[in-house]
Amino acid sequence: MFKIIKNANLYTPAPVGKKDLLICADKIVAIEDCLDQYKLPGDVEIIDVQGAVVTPGFFDQHVHLTGGGGEGGPATRVPPVMPSQLLRAGITTVCGVMGTEGTTKFPEELYAKVMGLRQEGLTAYMHTGSYQFPSPTITGSPRKDLITIEPVLGVKIALADHRCSFPNDDEMLKLVADVRMGGMLSGKKGVLHVHLGDFGGAYEQFERLIARGLARHHFSPTHTGREPKLFEQAIEFAKKGGVIDITSGGGNVYPFVECVQRALKAGVDRSRITMSSDGNGSMPKFDANGNMVAIVAAPVNANHAMLKEMVANGIDFETALMMTTSNVADSLGVKEARINIGANANLCVLTNDLNIDTVIARGVVWIKGGESIKLANFEA
């Protein structure tokens, strides 16, 4: 029931130095300089990390849990993700999304996957909707999904992309108003998670809607580094108080680290940048005539890989870590991805070169020495 993590070089994500952590069941219940004085009933598992960096488990807000794809027909649909894929990447908290295929894949299926991950021991949420407008939902209404289905944090849609439905301003106004009201009435933030294509016009539409009275924090644009003008507009959006999500799994006009460096240099506050992998989604390539010529599945470990790349290229560790932990939680309005008393016991232990050594999800050790020591159903 009890675990003590000893001699942690702790990042909450803020650096706090050497600490011991006490875990009871699935929660962090004490953080002290030394916990040797505690007399606890029953067996206590001691995990001495000997000065290793301990961080919150990573939070990836854009993973195609049920599989993306389908751009090349049914044979190109990506299979669902398995829990160990997430955990080996350090991901203990995830927000699932749908993608291009919103006709024969359903938000009900995504909901079932989210609840399955929760039963396995991960922390999981979802957005209803997919690329299309009107959004496919579980209850028939984006507002009702937010109000009545606890894991639903927002609605996903695609804009400025050849696979989207090109909703006009009035249609978007009604959708974002539904997201806002659904969030208000359920005690959630309520976000519209927007897949951005490279056609242009999406940020202009955001600004028109904001000018009509909608709050900027309801807009959650992703794939913001796709092309130069889009990225410049993303920077301005963030400087006005928005949050921008840069895809760690590829598809950016500049290398990922350069995107982050450009944003920071331009004056974007580090708390306004998140990264997500687009993991388990499809990465199709199209020729000049719009025909798909290749497709692969995006990796789920890209956030960890880019965390290491950022540090190797001079971005301080706390700033890099925030982009896959606390910034993500704040942008979605959930109390996750921080280490504090009462928080879920979701932790990563990193080696000196920032590789993943140990992953603890809801108090259970899944990864040790970089290897899976526990598997979920159907993974054996």
Residues identified as active-site: 278
Give the CA angle between residues 93, 243, 255 to the nearest 5°: 85
CB 138 within 8 A of CB 204: no
Report the C-alpha gap between 292 and 43 in whole angstroms: 57
Report the C-alpha gap between 47 and 376 in whole angstroms: 23
Each residue of 212-248: b (16+ CB within 10 Å) or e?
A: eebeebbbbbbbbbbbeebbebbbebbeeebbbbbbb
What sign does the CA torsion over 186, 129, 276, 180 have?
A: negative
CB 377 within 8 A of CB 93: no
| CA-to-CA separations, 276 to 135, 257, 372, in angstroms, rounded | 22, 13, 23
Q: Which residues pair with 307 in a beta bridge?
A: none
Provide the terminal-to-terminal Cα distance of the chain, rounded to the nearest Å.
25
Residue by residue, DSSP assigns 266-286 as: TT--GGGEEEE--BTSEEEEE
Helix (H, G, I), strand (E, B) or coil at 203: helix
